[in-house]
Amino acid sequence: MNEPLASLSSSGENLRIMVVVAHPHDFTHCAGTCGIHTARGDEVTVVTLTTGKMKHNERLYDELIKPADEQDAQIVNQSHEAYAEEKIGELRAVCKLFGVTDVRVHGFREPYRMDQVPESVEALKHIILEVRPDIMISHRRYLRGRSGMVSASRNEHDEAGFATHEAMYLASVPDPETKIPPHSVALTYYVGAFFETDEMDFYVDISPWAEKRVQAEVLFASQGHTQAFARKRIDIQAGRAGWSSGTQYAEGFVRGAPELLDGLPVPPRALQFARGGRLEALKRLSGEDQTGKGHH
């Protein structure tokens, strides 16, 4: 299932992967895949366009709906900046869990809108020219709702996707003034968490990383995540993706564009599933088969 991401490294060279997200927590949706690649020796850079200071402050919400004399002053008086510092620390701790040490945090205006902060595109372009990634992982760049209709609202994730594509285009254009060599990203993948199941192009088996995905959710305590909530979330999200793809836990991705191949792609896992027994497949789903690829 992870053949698309592994294909570039068939020559033995390490890959450079760049992840661009709107908010710190968004990284978790592809963290297991990034952990697989850092363990292989590939380099991963994570960029968040905002600090998330305006997102998921559930503690503040709950305090502000109480009568004034019952509110926790420490929570109510916490500044956006202090809350942002919490989330930045949580992001760095989560990235460390998955072997990612290159973390770039920007504090662009929230809610994030690309046209309101054009400097964000320029900042991304400079990071692309510095890191020179082979693979870009980001949000989708589609303004549409669940039925495929154009959305009436502007979503920060979609805006981040637009900014990423704009930056990739600008990085690929040669500049006679700077003389910096241009760079073209080989493959772009969108985080599957923001798509429906029937829109996925492929899944990456993250079963060995599932417990770290749970830990990652717990680390985002600023958003009110508890151990029970974290495990339920991973069981539902990554577990559902795993169920759809024939394993315990998985992360889904959507291709940014069709790929040119030398022949039909034949992932070894697909042949294993087709040629193996049905009872074996059930054991892989339940985790009883500890000998299959991708399991401890």
CATH code: domain of residue 134: 3.40.50.10320
Return all residues near 118 (Cβ < 8 A) that are at least 6 apart: none
Judged by DSSP in three states, 252 sits in: strand
Q: What is the pTM of this model?
A: 0.91
Q: Structurally, how many domains does the chain consist of?
A: 2
Q: Which helix (H) or strand (E) holds 46?
A: strand 43-48
pLDDT category of residue 4 using cuts at 50, 70 and 90: low
Q: Domain check: are 85 and 189 in the same one?
A: yes
Lowest-confidence segment of 128-132, 147-151, 188-192, 291-295 by average pLDDT: 291-295
Do both 95 and 170 map to the same domain?
yes
pLDDT for res 13: 84
pLDDT tier at 294, thresholds 50, 70, 90: very low
Q: Give the residue carrying structure tokens 């985080």.
A: 191
Q: What is the pLDDT of residues 246-268, one digit of tens each?
A: 999 999 999 999 999 999 989 98
Q: What is the mean pLDDT of residues 160-169?
A: 97
Same domain for 39 and 160, yes or no, is yes
**Residues 31-40: what's their mean pLDDT?**
98
Report the side by side order of strands in the sheet with 187-191. Answer: 102-105, 43-48, 16-21, 135-138, 187-191, 250-255, 202-205
119 and 39 in a common domain: yes
Q: Are residue 71 and residue 126 in the same domain, yes or no?
A: yes
Domain interval for residue 128: 3-265
Domain match, 192 and 227 both = yes
Instruction: Let me know whether 172 and 242 are in one domain.
Output: yes
CB 127 within 8 Å of CB 106: no
Average pLDDT of the segment spanning 116-137: 98
Mean pLDDT check: name the lowest of 110-119, 151-160, 197-206: 151-160
pLDDT tens by residue, 176-233: 999 999 999 999 999 999 888 999 999 999 999 999 999 999 999 999 999 999 999 9
Q: pLDDT, tens digit, for every residue of 90-111? A: 999 999 999 999 999 999 999 9
Beta carbons of 205 and 269 less than 8 angstroms apart: yes
Tokens of 123: 């900042």
